[in-house]
Structure 1
């Protein structure tokens, strides 16, 4: 099932075609989540092409900020070669939690009871007859 799955599915990692496309490309590094980064060839502007092969689900929010900077040509050296300084005010990155039990649910959402605070005097409901 592993080979067939890698041929036809893209949402749980790289497909077989992607692995074929990596031939001759340089492996540039790996982040703490196990994502692997590659570089090779040139894009239409002459910049080196860079991409990530995700470990697990293909979710762009799982790319750490330092590797994101490298992927988008904000920095030239990989974070392994020249670590990006972490500012004191920065929080650790978190993946996109949409669709999970940890997703943000605002007051009034059905999942948290469906009750929201009443409208104040500065709000007037729209009426189609007005």
Structure 2
């Protein structure tokens, strides 16, 4: 997008104001495998610590892995590397929301996959008011 839009836009990542002033006095607590950085500092009105994520790239909440989502929403108290068990070999990595991309799920009858639906099997009988 260019350096000229960074001070004014939030949808392309953190603006300069967020990085210079918004996170002043906040502690950096970790980074995930996607490059998102997590901060903690201050308290909210209920007395819970405030937590933030600064996205690497576009601001898309589906790009936060499940373990860090749990930390952001106070489901776990400590950072995921300390509070959660290690990742099991059979677990798949989390994927961001793929809607609107070429990798999005499309059922067999979708126009993007040729638009050909499976033939009816003959077990359907239409409802009629007389029947």
TM norm structure 2 = 0.82
- Equivalent in the alignment of 1:124: 126
- Equivalent in the alignment of 1:64: 65
**SS of alignment partner, residue 6 of structure 1:** coil
* Alignment gaps of 5+ in structure 2: none
Change (3 A) 1:10 1:40: same
* Alignment gaps of 5+ in structure 1: 126-130
- Is the 1:29–1:80 contact (alpha carbons within 8 Å) kept by the matching residues of 2? no
Change (3 A) 1:116 1:48: same
Query: How big is the shift at 1:17?
Result: 3.0
Indicate whether 1:90 and 2:91 are aligned. yes
- Equivalent in the alignment of 1:128: none
Deviation by residue 1:50-109 (Cα, 9 ceiling, x = unmatched): 110000111112111111111111111112334434356532211111111111111111
- Is the 1:6–1:15 contact (alpha carbons within 8 Å) kept by the matching residues of 2? yes
- Equivalent in the alignment of 1:14: 14
- Is the 1:30–1:37 contact (alpha carbons within 8 Å) kept by the matching residues of 2? yes
- Equivalent in the alignment of 2:50: 49
- Equivalent in the alignment of 1:34: 35
CA distance in 1, matches of 2:50, 2:125: 51
Query: How big is the shift at 1:124?
Result: 3.5
CA RMSD of aligned residues (A): 2.1
Change (3 A) 1:37 1:122: same
CA distance in 1, matches of 2:82, 2:41: 18
Query: How big is the shift at 1:23?
Result: 0.8
TM norm structure 1 = 0.82
